[in-house]
Amino acid sequence: MEIPSSVNWGSLEGAGKWFNVPFHQIDIRFSDEEELEIERYCQKIKENIEKDKMTPMERWKATIEGQEVDRLLVEAIPATPYATRVLDGFGNVIKPIDAFRYPKLFLKSQLAFCARFGTDYPNVYSLTYGESEWGGKAKLLEMAHPVLVEPGVKTMEDVERLKVPNPYRDGQYPLMLWAMHTMKEIFKKHGLAGVVPVVASCCVRGTTMLQLSIRGLKQGYLDPIKNPDIYHKLMPLSNELAINYAKALRDVGVDIVWCCCHHATHPPEVFKEHIVKYDAEFAKKSGIDGWGYAFNQEKHVSIMHEAGGYDTVKYLMFDTLTPPEFARKFTKEINKPYIAIIEDKKLMEGPSKIEEYVKQLVKIGTSTPGVGFGLSAGTIDYWTPPECIDAYVKYAKQYGKLK
């Protein structure tokens, strides 16, 4: 195994054998049985979409263009921990850590989720919540995303020594690229390429990467306020990896790249003074298609808009912590489609509440003809009963039927 030379060498406890193997050296083959399993997932995905007038790709494009659709986009973001539950029929036998160590499981779990629940396309969430590529100690957890245990960057001297990791070569990134590239190849083989888009998030990025992987969660959040010198020295490095990673996802075959964003963790004035320029720069240089928002963004999106952070993106996703009426009004003003995310807590409230939420969101979201709207769910908590996801997909398709 080639050890990357430029990485600020940290450690990932519990890493699998493909960790730190460069993308072009990952040689993973499927057995005959696995080929069959994958074929079955693809068959099911085809069955799920064949009754619709539009293909998911056509629906996606029409939504982005603000044109008429047969029904609303219905997507979901399971994240790896939930997707793995589908692989063993919700037996809670295969653990999330298995998918983080074995890319085939990671890939199959995403296909299985899409096939099982009938969402429009697989939407693959970030592979990591913490990584060692910035010199820290990270750990693979049995039941969740990897996390940073001990940050590697504590002083300005540490910052000066940092090198920017390469997503094609370092850490878990090549695994994610392999999985997305392979998904596209599978779609090509089974007639789904161009019909069902391959969608992935390039989270973790920019400021978030700083918090989760470079400085640690708390310190990373506080840096713009407490240590602006370190923050501003780190952000260009953090952004460089994030931009390269988003581009790499695109290059290996991802059709739609989006990114999650947490502007509203900071007061608007801090966001404006310290953070927004990096987020806006990231959007422009990475070529991402969309931003996905958590937290209430009412006071932050106009700042982002003024900084040009939406100039190049095609759509915005908001969970309902941002009031949907506000999200719709704002996206209409800037003429971008709005994808409303029903977040994990709401999904766990059960089918009847989910029906209410879907109806409300469809009413609000479709109130502006000519500016696209779609529905999403996630990221889905590990303990969400599958009947809740079934209910979400059923009601989203039912109430989202527009013609």
- Contact with other proteins (CB under 8 A) among 10, 56, 96, 197: 96
Residue whose CB is less far from other proteins, 116 or 300: 300
The Cα 383–Cα 25 span in angstroms is 36
Among residues 235 and 246, whose Cβ is nearest to other proteins? 235
Nearer to other proteins, 181 or 263 (CB): 263
Could you give the 3-state DSSP secondary structure of residue 124?
Answer: strand
Nearer to other proteins (CB atom), residue 47 or residue 356: 356
Residue 265 binds to other proteins (criterion: CB under 8 A): yes
- The CA-atom distances, in angstroms, between 371 and each of 63, 316, 334 are 8, 12, 10
For 33, the token pair is: 């049985």
How close are the terminal C-alpha atoms of the chain, in Å?
55
* Binding flag, residue 299, other proteins (CB under 8 A): yes
- Cα three-residue angle 303-309-311, rounded to 5 degrees: 120
- Spatial separation of the C-alpha atoms in residues 183 and 203, rounded to whole Å: 19
For residue 50, how many other CB atoms are within 10 A of its CB? 8
191, 228, 267, 370: which one contacts other proteins (CB under 8 A)?
267
Q: Applying CB under 8 A, does 147 fall inside the site for other proteins?
A: yes
We find the least distance from the C-beta atom of residue 349 to other proteins, in angstroms, to be 7
- Residue 95 sits in the site that holds other proteins (CB under 8 A): yes
Residues numbered 167 to 226 that lie near other proteins (CB under 8 A) are 217-218, 221-222, 225
Print the binding letters for residues 330-349 with other proteins: x by CB under 8 A, - otherwise: --------------xx--xx
Tell me the per-residue interface mask from 365 to 394 with other proteins, x by CB under 8 A, - otherwise. Answer: ----------------xxx-----------
295 scored as a contact of other proteins (CB under 8 A): yes
Is the bond preceding 155 in cis, omega lying within 30 degrees of 0? no
Only segment of 61-69, 79-87, 230-238, 245-253 that touches other proteins (CB under 8 A): 79-87
Which residues contact residue 115 at a Cβ distance below 8 angstroms, ignoring those fewer than 6 apart? 40, 41, 42, 44, 45, 48
Instruction: Say which residues have a Cβ less than 8 Å from residue 224's Cβ, sequence separation at least 6.
Output: 207, 231, 266, 270, 273, 274, 275
Q: How many residues are present in the chain? A: 403
CB of 290 to other proteins, least distance (A): 22
Cα–Cα distance between 157 and 271 in angstroms, integer?
Answer: 26
Which of the residues 125 through 144 are near other proteins (CB under 8 A)?
129, 139, 141-144
The single residue among 16, 56, 81, 122 that binds other proteins, judged by CB under 8 A, is 81
- Of 30 and 102, the one with the shorter C-beta distance to other proteins is 102
CA distance 384 to 388: 7
Residues forming the site for other proteins (CB under 8 A)? 79, 81-82, 92, 95-96, 129, 139, 141-145, 147-149, 217-218, 221-222, 225, 264-267, 270, 295-296, 298-299, 344-345, 348-349, 381-383
